A and B are shown apart, each in its own frame.
Chain A
């Protein structure tokens, strides 16, 4: 029974990893930017949620759209007026830029919200679904469902809408997209905005499931990175599967070997995939390729 409980815990955690990975993977796949500040942007969403909860008693679930819109706008401006100027630069330059941004954001949050661990605990935080010996907190179940719903919605957005298809087209062949009258600068800004918006939402959901401080930004980015590698760049369904896999693996290894080894395990998994199947677990890269 304990195995089943661990598996469920892993899947619940994994959906969250999937969500944080989707935005990261989309940005990487389409714009070729490995956004090292992704975790910090997620934390901005978390602190926004924390602030709204503390000040206005706004239910964390209700601040999901607020986080999305705030971080979407932040991401759009960032890409349009900063990243677009260096997007053709070498990958190393882009890494330095996003790394600098991460340091800046972490310092900003430490200054305004202190380095203390925070958490958001609405009145219903303790309620759980009990099935025999299996216990599933309702909040985690809700977070799981929201992550899956957002993943499906993103996949539909990319497949069915004009801007979604334009994102796909631009990542497939940027010059061909220009010849079709698409402006890649706008598409990059939209993609980065979406990635940041999704990071913001995952930050909000983070507040509901664990304590957080500015110091965990890097750990979040690492998870997003691993999920992207596992799933293949720019692939929503890949990120979903990669996230669930990472969640389950981490939870099991914490139980079997101990909490402190889970980073190493996650990293090992990623290296293994890179060696055995560099295009990700989902096989053929769909519309994103690692460009150099």
Chain B
């Protein structure tokens, strides 16, 4: 059974329909890539899953439970974590406080979880008493990932975490994401760097103007002529 299953999801803003009958799934332990050009609807898709946007119709099913249009509180509690586009940290709060807020709906054992996050991101530990707004882009991204992990999600949605970061920083973040996955957390990742995510994921979906047009094993998609042309620039 799929861990996260989306069936015929439709959503948009006002009269503007963005998502068109999107269906996809993420199985336990998988890394799944979600590709698409700017404005395709990838962020809208992720926001709709966690209840920030209203779904017009369709199903969001987590662990067999239908969660469509539930309050975000309930969706996060069900084991979905999100690292949003633009990081969205609490700028006026410290790194430690940001991590604490991530554990708001799952508060037992906070120390242990925070320690393990600081172990993955030693840099974050050094900055733990700084305001999140004063961190560098890479540190902010670490903090955003850490905050999402604090609720001990079974699946992590990551939206363009490499945006605006130096390649070396992206590399180290990628390794951490793979580590997180090895510890049993499924990952759904939206990324501009198509080569990179196709290499780290097992399966991928391609979204064009709100609908999924291509899907398959990442290995196969790397060689897919359409992908090569549109996203890999070959």
Q: CB within 8 Å of B: which residues of A?
A: 162, 165-166, 168-169, 172-173, 175-183, 286-287
Chain B residues within 8 Å of A180, by CB: 76, 101-102, 104-105, 147, 151
The answer to whether B89 touches A179, judged by C-beta atoms less than 8 angstroms apart, is no
Closest to A289 in B: B92
Complexed CA–CA distance, A169 and B51 (Å):
18
Q: A162-B107, A165-B101 are in contact. Are A178 and B93 (CB under 8 A)?
A: no
The answer to whether A173 touches B90, judged by C-beta atoms less than 8 angstroms apart, is yes
Closest to A166 in B: B104
The answer to whether A179 touches B92, judged by C-beta atoms less than 8 angstroms apart, is no
Chain B residues within 8 Å of A287, by CB: 92-93
Complexed CA–CA distance, A211 and B148 (Å):
53
Complexed CA–CA distance, A169 and B77 (Å):
18
Complexed CA–CA distance, A165 and B151 (Å):
16
Chain B residues within 8 Å of A173, by CB: 88-91
Q: CB within 8 Å of A: which residues of B?
A: 50-52, 71-73, 76-77, 82, 84, 88-93, 97, 100-102, 104-107, 147-148, 151
Q: A173-B89, A182-B73 are in contact. List 11 more A-B contacts (CB 8 A).
A: A165-B93, A168-B93, A169-B93, A172-B92, A175-B84, A177-B90, A178-B50, A179-B72, A180-B151, A181-B105, A287-B93
Chain B residues within 8 Å of A165, by CB: 93, 97, 100-101
Complexed CA–CA distance, A169 and B100 (Å):
11
The answer to whether B93 touches A181, judged by C-beta atoms less than 8 angstroms apart, is no
Chain A residues within 8 Å of B50, by CB: 178-179
Min distance, Cβ B102 to any Cβ of chain A, angstroms: 5
Interface of chain A: mostly helix, strand, loop or mixed:
helix
Min distance, Cβ B176 to any Cβ of chain A, angstroms: 19
Complexed CA–CA distance, A169 and B103 (Å):
13
The answer to whether A183 touches B73, judged by C-beta atoms less than 8 angstroms apart, is yes
Complexed CA–CA distance, A238 and B105 (Å):
31
Min distance, Cβ B67 to any Cβ of chain A, angstroms: 13
Complexed CA–CA distance, A287 and B92 (Å):
6
Contact of A176 among B77, B88, B100, B106 (CB under 8 A): B88
Chain B residues within 8 Å of A182, by CB: 73, 101, 104-105
Q: A178-B73, A179-B76, A181-B73 are in contact. Are A169 and B101 (CB under 8 A)?
A: yes
Closest to A186 in B: B73
Which 8 pairs show the lowest CB-CB distances between chains A and B? Answer: A181-B105, A181-B76, A178-B72, A176-B88, A183-B73, A287-B92, A172-B90, A180-B101
Chain A residues within 8 Å of B102, by CB: 180
Closest to A172 in B: B90
